[in-house]
Structure formats: C-alpha cells, structure tokens
Amino acid sequence: MKPHALDRKLLWITLTLFIGGMLILASASMVISQKNFGSLGHYTVHQLLFGGLGGVGALFVCQYIPYRVWRRVALPAILVSLLLLMLVFFPKISYAYGGARRWLAFGALTFQPSELLKLSFIMYLASWLDARRRALASVAYSMIPFVVMLGVIGIFLIMQPDIGTLGIIIITAGLLYFLGGGKVSQMAILVVLGALIFFMLVQFEPYRAHRILVFLNSDLDPQGIGYQINQAFIAIGSGGSFGLGFGRSIQKYHYLPEPIGDSIFAVFAEEMGFLGALLLIVAFSILFWRGMRIAERAPDGFGKLLAAGISIGIMVQAFINMAAISGLLPLTGIPLPFVSYGSTSLIITLASIGILLNISKYATR
C-alpha cells in the first residue's frame, strides 16, 4: 500500500481539543493548585510537560508507523497491559487515591495501566474479530471467547475498583463486536448479561447504589451522597447561555469535588455557558465523524475495526463523562478526554489519534 496525505481535518480538530483542553484545565485547576502547591499553574505545567509533550510525541511517532504493525504486537500489548494491571495490587510500587488503587508509582511519576489497556484491547479485539469475521455467528467459536476476554479484564478492573473504565471497555467492545459482524440476537444477550453484572456490582458496594439513588433523585441528601451532582448542577446552571467568563468559576473554589477530574465539564460550562459546552460537544462529534469516516474507507478489515474502535472509545468516554456530570447518567468518575487532568490518559489518547491518522493515509479517497 502506498500512503497519501493524512486526514488534516482530524489533525486540526485534535489540536483544537488538545489546546482547548489545556486552557480549560488551566482555569479549573488554579484554585486547587494554589492550595496544594502554592502555584496557580502547577497542574497545568505538569500536564503539559508529562502528558502534552509525551502525547504529541506519541502522536507524531504513531502517525508514521504503518498501522498493520499493531496487528503483530496486539497480543504482546494486551499481555503487558494485564501484567501492569496486576502490579497495581503491590503497595510498594503502586499508588492509591480515593479508595481505589489504579496507579503505578515511579518516584514522583505515576502511570495508570487501565489507560494502556483501553488501547491495547482495541488493537487485540480488532485483530481477533477480523480473523473470525466469517464465524462470528458461532456462539462457541466467537461469542463465548469474547465474553471470557471481557470477564478476565473485568476481574482486574473490579478489584481496583475502576467500574467506569470497565463500562467504557464493555460498551466499546460490544459495539466493535457488532460492527465486526455480530448478530442482533447476540448483542441482545450481551446487553442482558451486562445488565445482570451491573446489578450485582451495585449490590456489592453501597457507594454504587448511592450513585444510582442520587441519579434517580438528585434532591436526595444534597449535603451527603448527592453533594457532587448538586454542586455540578449549580455550576452548569450558573453558566447560563454565555457563561461567567474564562477563569471566573465560583464552584471551583472548593465547592465542587474533583474540579480537574470528572467534574471539569461542569466548571467549563459555568465559565463558558451553554454555548461553550455545545461547542465542546460539537468538537468531539467532529472527531468521531472523522474517525468513523476513516474506518469506513480503510483498505482492510483490521484497519476498519481498529479505526472504529479508537473513535468509539474516545466518543463513549467523552459522552459518559459529560452526561454523568450533567445528571443524564449516574456519576462514574471517568476523565474527559483531552481535558481532565491525567498524563497517562492524554498520552494514550493522542497516541490513538496518531494511529488513526496513519490509517487515514491508506484510506480510499
């Protein structure tokens, strides 16, 4: 295959989200940064140095690597990801925060293996589905092994616990399975099975049940289990149509929990209003559209599934984050791609875009 020019529209919307995300983080983090480190820009500088530069470098490198290489390394990549997930349960080399143990710690640097798992599993699943595309109708040959794979990954993520990431992986994998040739009846079985597992997980941990109760009734215990979502509602509502102005959020002054994490969209909506929030949603939608267009025009099955998986994964995560903090879904605690604080997430997201850009070089015009 002879490559041609990459998809410039995808590149430009990615750069827009990256730069915009850094600006949003700079505003959302200034208060907590001053409190924790005595500097308004600590989190922004850290994100830029360790996530931004590494991510842009990863994007640049990955857009030059022929995407078929990832088919050969998919199995080693998923095995390495699972090994790293196992290591987070060793306290001497891991880091815990908020009751969850999800990070490996190397001195002052931390790494979240589940972010690498998202990408490596998409690579492996794209290769696996492409190899079995003529037999996906078989329950024994395709559906049962698919459920077993998700089960193994699920065990590691539930133990951390990281149910939000597990949800993203299950939804992305399910949609990819369907695009790869899965039957509607199989998808119905997977949905029912997923609902049963979700019900069981809610029963095991009270805080998960609390999130469901607050989702159903946001007025429930506004100073307790409903505090975060109610503060998010205040932030989003205060923004009105055009917002309070960049840097002028009130809720980030120690009212809204996790203002640089899963609540950052509420801070952005408060400062930039409904119009700003709508523009951010449109930006993610454009990125998804370009990614699926690349998938449609990819020259082979692996390229189609890999591009679709990356595009779906980013869009599902962005949608769940924004919908959850807006009260349309139960709170999940997952970051907003390109925007929330987290170097590992930013690096892996930009590397994924680099892979998409390489696939676009071989897509039919």
pLDDT digits (tens, 9 = 90+) for 208-236: 888 888 888 888 778 888 899 999 999 99
Q: 41-50, pLDDT tens digit by residue?
A: 999 999 999 9
Q: State residue 103's pLDDT score.
A: 84
Give the global pTM: 0.94
Q: State residue 173's pLDDT score.
A: 95
Count of H-run helices and E-run strands, the chain: 13, 3
Q: State residue 142's pLDDT score.
A: 84
Does the pLDDT at position 99 exceed 80? Answer: no
Q: What is the rounded distance in angstroms from the CA atom of residue 130 to the CA atom of residue 139?
A: 16
Q: State residue 121's pLDDT score.
A: 96
Nearest Cα neighbor of 190 from 152, 122, 143, 135 is 143
Q: State residue 213's pLDDT score.
A: 85
> Is the CB of residue 180 less than 8 Å from the CB of residue 200?
no
Nearest Cα neighbor of 205 from 25, 333, 61 is 333
Contacts of 98 by beta carbon, 8 Å cutoff, 6+ apart: none
**185 vs 99, more confident:** 185
DSSP state of 340: S
What are the Cα distances from residue 361, in Å, to 5, 179, 198? 6, 22, 40
Q: State residue 251's pLDDT score.
A: 94
- For a pLDDT cut of 70, what percent of the chain falls above it? 99
Region 135-152 average pLDDT: 85
Does the pLDDT at position 331 exceed 90? Answer: no
Does the pLDDT at position 98 exceed 90? Answer: no
Q: State residue 13's pLDDT score.
A: 97
Contacts of 123 by beta carbon, 8 Å cutoff, 6+ apart: 70, 71, 73, 74, 77, 78, 306
Which run of H or of E encompasses 104? strand 100-106
- Say whether the peptide bond before residue 66 is cis (omega within 30 degrees of 0): no
What mean pLDDT is reported for the chain? 91
For residue 337, give the 3-state DSSP assignment.
coil
Does the pLDDT at position 100 exceed 80? Answer: no
Does the pLDDT at position 96 exceed 80? Answer: no
Strands 109-111, 100-106: pairing is antiparallel
Region 86-110 average pLDDT: 80
